[in-house]
């Protein structure tokens, strides 16, 4: 018996693409497009065993950017965009601060290549926490817990299916979920707009199903 097909979106949010029904699910899994991506074992083995000339090149590349301390950025009201490493940025517009995909701590198998430009305890005065997806290099439990403690006013913006996971890390954290082609509700006075647009990647986190979450790109 084939799994049922249905569509999901946040009905409380505006969908900007006319006629779009929502993210497609087959059974309980989100699709990246119209079908679930299920690579054959042979495809996976070829990917792992085929020579990659860039692999050694990456190992030899030891360059890292110069780290410029930026702790004061979290206590400023100036408009700014600050890169914190990997996919993490601080954006402030008209006094409203949004933090993208922060990973403030190294963990087993996932180390920062260069030092953070601030201490984790400096990351305060955050209005919105935007999490693009649930992979460990974009969403870190230790970071989420600390940010929720230091920023009680902070609201999380993320993908469909993420709220339960995030509230398991920080029970009091308000979470707004969006699907593809949806606009977050930041209120009428917000100085910017945030949309979730299609992106293709697996949504698996740990032992959870492979595509438990919609995969967006803000």
C-beta separation of 15 from 194 below 8 A: no
Q: Please list the alpha-helical segments (H only) found in 38-129.
A: 41-49, 53-60
Mark the ranges of the chain whose per-residue pLDDT is less than 70: 1, 201-218
The strands making up 216-217's β-sheet, listed across from edge to edge, are: 14-15, 182-183, 195-198, 216-217
The pLDDT value recorded for residue 214 is: 54
What integer pLDDT is reported at residue 77 of this predicted model?
A: 95
Domains (range + CATH), the chain? 5-35+69-217 (3.60.15.10)
User: What's the pLDDT score for residue 113?
Assistant: 80
Measured CA to CA, the distance from residue 195 to residue 179 in angstroms comes to 9
Question: In degrees, to the nearest 5, what angle opens at C-alpha 15 toward C-alphas 13 and 20?
Answer: 135
Q: What is the pLDDT of residue 160?
A: 94
| pLDDT at 114 (0 to 100) | 83
Q: Are the CB atoms for 3 and 27 separated by under 8 Å?
A: yes
Task: Output the pLDDT for position 66.
Answer: 92
Helical spans, DSSP H, in the chain: 41-49, 53-60, 141-150, 163-169
How far out from the chain centre does Cα 171 lie?
18
DSSP letter at 76 equals -
Strands 5-8, 23-26: pairing is antiparallel
Residue 5 is predicted with a pLDDT of 93
In the structure, how many helices (H) and strands (E) does the chain have? Answer: 4, 13
What pLDDT, on a 0 to 100 scale, did the predictor assign at position 32? Answer: 79
Quick count: other Cβ atoms within 10 Å of Cβ 55?
Answer: 8
């Amino acid at each position: 018996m084939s799994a049922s097909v249905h569509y999901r979106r946040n009905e409380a949010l505006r969908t900007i693409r006319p006629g779009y029904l929502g993210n497609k699910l087959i059974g309980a899994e989100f699709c990246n497009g119209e079908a679930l991506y299920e690579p054959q074992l042979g495809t996976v083995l070829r990917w792992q065993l085929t020579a990659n000339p860039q692999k050694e090149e990456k190992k030899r590349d030891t360059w890292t950017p110069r780290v410029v301390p930026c702790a004061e950025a979290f206590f400023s009201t100036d408009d700014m965009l600050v890169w914190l490493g990997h996919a993490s940025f601080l954006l402030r517009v008209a006094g409203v601060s949004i933090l993208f995909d922060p990973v403030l701590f190294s963990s087993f198998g996932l180390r920062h290549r260069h030092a953070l430009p601030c201490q984790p305890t400096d990351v305060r005065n955050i209005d919105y926490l935007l999490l693009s997806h649930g992979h460990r290099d974009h969403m870190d439990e230790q970071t989420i817990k600390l940010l929720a403690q230091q920023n009680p006013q902070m609201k999380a913006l993320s993908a469909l299916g993420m709220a339960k996971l995030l509230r398991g890390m920080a029970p009091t954290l308000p979470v707004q979920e969006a699907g593809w082609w949806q606009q977050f509700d930041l209120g009428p006075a917000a100085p910017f707009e945030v949309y979730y647009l299609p992106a293709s990647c697996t949504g698996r986190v740990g032992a959870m199903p492979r595509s438990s979450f919609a995969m967006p790109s803000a």
